[in-house]
Amino acid sequence: MSKWVRMIVLALLACMLMPELVHASAPNADEAKIFIDEFMSRKMKEDHIPGAVVAIVRDGRTEVLSGYGYADLERKIAADPDRTIFRLGSISKSITATAVMQLQEAGKLDLHADIKRYIPELDLGGRNDQPITAHDLLTHTAGFCESVYGVGRDKSKQVSLAEAISSHLPALCRQPGEQIAYSNQGMSLAGYLVERVSDRPYEDYVRDNIFKPLKMTHASFRLVETDPFLAKNYSYAKGKYTATPYSYIHHLPAGAMNATAADMSHYMIAHLQQGLFEGGRILSEKTAEWMHATQFTIDKRMPGMTYGFFERYQNGLRLIEHDGGIDDFAAYMYLIPSEKTGIFIATNAGGGTDATEQLINEYLIRFYPKQPETASTGTIPSLEELTKWQGYYIPNRAHMKGPLNFAQNLSTVRLKAIADGVLMLDNERYKAIAPNYFYKEEDTDQRLFIDSVHHTFAHSAIPTMMYERQNSPFYSPILHLVLFLALTFIYPARLLTAVMGWVIRRIRHKPNEFHWLDALASLSFIGYFIFIASTVELFINAIPWWADWAMHLPFLIVFAQVAGIGIMLVYKRKVTWLQYLFTAASVIDVAYLYAWGFFQ
């Protein structure tokens, strides 16, 4: 056997025995198309997706541009990647960030200046003295609470961007620059900044400075239901698809973009080529590199935020990406800068969310099968040290304005120390690589970083928010839920006992007096809780002037209860122990609701 033959054989054996040493590379166009076709054929059946489009770009050209299923089931109109318009939801935020960076590049906007320099009348409520910058808005670190009120839905009630910003911004929950907490209204404010600085309507600026240069001929921020190319969106239940109405949100820059897969292929190419598309530029190379760089992270080993994208580290690659969802549309855009590759997928059914998220996982496993390092790189924390970090943690996005703030108890996770260097996050085991830094045993790409100073942790799978520890040793989400339900239940129970007591005494022909005060208080509280449960629907388009008064109704009810008992005592009327107990319970309930921010 010749020397060269022996070398070739040894090389082949090495490749078989040590596959991790083989350098994975991007698939060619045919391989990518075969992979996508197989993936979509399977997922559309599994997830009940009527229609979808996919685009894959690499090295400045579109390699895959495919449509699957139907854009309109009733009329049997196929999903066409060149013409079918999908709603892209929060992918809009990347467009908004690009517009902000253009204005920065033109010298019209300073990313680190107080945005009140450009919007002097901006009112941020009780924390008006806290400077917020464009950098904070683009990295979701401005500190806004989450709010689902006044976001818009009905076409007849849609308001201008200026009115949405002046009337429907949520309060600030934390200092700007402290934590990543994904904010729709924060990015909408960035879009309004574009409008004010450019002195043009946001949609016009984006159309002329991004869509037209990139030949995104179907892209827009205005929904036209009569457009023959607009896809319908569907929900699926009991074996049947049902068309879902379109919503008209107020905060256009945060989630109102519509585009085709072909449009998005041009947009991805421009960003992967550092702002260059077909000889023209939407950003300079320097600005594009700045935009794509990590701008905020809790730790350099953890994915964080760029300007307009969030990061992912997977299979040895760094991705920048953004997802989007509105109505029953779901979409995702993934960019792999080192490979000059971009992937876009959009579907027109609620079940499509899983497909849009699983696509990148299967793509990377298929073409870049590399496992991340899990070897220890520092002192492993002991069980005793880890015990100091255990407890209940709540996502910072769960801090909401008004009564929905209590719902954060439903999203609580528990961190528990079980051995040296080992934590349990709910039912999943994480092992320490270094102090404060852990990997998930079942999926080593998923990482956990604990900030022991600020009592927070970040999870690599969700770089758009952090988790904050509930520091009270007595905190338990189950306890709070039980307590809330118990305190709420006293009102129908008291109303029932008042009515039954009065009826029984009437039947027995005993002297009787109906407890009108307790009955009216109970009815008022029952009405209040029904109102609270309906606020998402009632306030979806706008928060009316009377909302703040209605939110504070329990204070008036309790005042009436206490005053009523006082008057009864003055006039020497009998007050039963049940009346005293019910009034005390009402006072405790209102104090409890106040502690949870019900009346914000």
What's the average model confidence in pLDDT over 294-299?
Answer: 96
Query: For 438-474, b where at least 16 C-beta lie within 10 A, e where not — what string?
Result: bbbeeeebbbbbbbeeebbbbbbebbbbbbbbbeeee
User: What percent of the chain shows pLDDT beyond 70?
Assistant: 94
Q: Which residues, listed in sequence order, are joined to residue 116 by a DSSP beta bridge?
A: none
The rounded mean pLDDT for the chain is 90
What's the average model confidence in pLDDT over 191-197?
Answer: 98
pLDDT value of position 511: 67
pLDDT value of position 303: 96
Instruction: Give pLDDT tens digits for 500-530.
Output: 888 887 887 776 677 889 999 999 999 999 9
Instruction: Give pLDDT tens digits for 29-43.
Output: 999 999 999 999 999
The CB density around residue 562, as the number of other CB atoms within 10 Å, is 14
Instruction: Give pLDDT tens digits for 322-333.
Output: 999 999 999 999
Distance in angstroms (rounded) separating the CA atoms of residues 464 and 486:
35
pLDDT value of position 539: 86
CA 83 from centre of chain: 29
Which of 198, 201, 190 has its CA nearest to residue 122? 190
Residue 159 has pLDDT above 90, yes or no: yes
Distance between the two ends of the chain, CA-based, in angstroms?
83
Q: Which residues, listed in sequence order, are joined to residue 310 by a DSSP beta bridge?
A: 305, 321
Torsion of CA 290, 219, 233, 51, to 10 degrees: -80
Angle at 573 between CA 569 and CA 579, to 5 degrees: 75
Banded model confidence at residue 6, pLDDT cuts 50, 70, 90? very low
Distance in angstroms (rounded) separating the CA atoms of residues 376 and 144:
37
Residue 136 has pLDDT above 90, yes or no: yes
Residues 337, 292: contact at Cβ < 8 Å? yes
* Amino acid in position 266: H
Q: Which residues, listed in sequence order, are joined to residue 277 by a DSSP beta bridge?
A: 280
What's the average model confidence in pLDDT over 386-404?
Answer: 86
**Which residue intervals of the chain bear CATH 3.40.710.10?**
29-367
Distance in angstroms (rounded) separating the CA atoms of residues 172 and 399:
10
DSSP code, position 211: I
User: What percent of the chain shows pLDDT beyond 90?
Assistant: 71
Residue 2 has pLDDT above 70, yes or no: no
Residues 153, 196: contact at Cβ < 8 Å? no
Q: Structure pTM?
A: 0.90
What's the average model confidence in pLDDT over 261-273?
Answer: 98
Distance in angstroms (rounded) separating the CA atoms of residues 415 and 425:
5
pLDDT value of position 401: 67
Query: For 288-304, b where at least 16 C-beta lie within 10 A, e where not — what string?
Result: bebbbeebbbbeeebbb
270 SS3 class: helix
Topology of 29-367 in CATH? Answer: Beta-lactamase (3.40.710)
What's the average model confidence in pLDDT over 48-70?
Answer: 97
Ranking 23-27, 119-123, 323-327 by mean pLDDT, the lowest is 23-27
Residue 245 has pLDDT above 70, yes or no: yes
Distance in angstroms (rounded) separating the CA atoms of residues 105 and 100:
9
Banded model confidence at residue 404, pLDDT cuts 50, 70, 90? confident
What's the average model confidence in pLDDT over 285-296?
Answer: 98
Ranking 86-100, 259-273, 363-377 by mean pLDDT, the lowest is 363-377
Distance in angstroms (rounded) separating the CA atoms of residues 414 and 75:
49
CA 397 from centre of chain: 8
Distance in angstroms (rounded) separating the CA atoms of residues 424 and 415:
6
What's the average model confidence in pLDDT over 359-365?
Answer: 96
283: tokens are 């950003």
More confident residue, 147 or 256: 256
Residue 375 has pLDDT above 80, yes or no: no
36: tokens are 């996508």
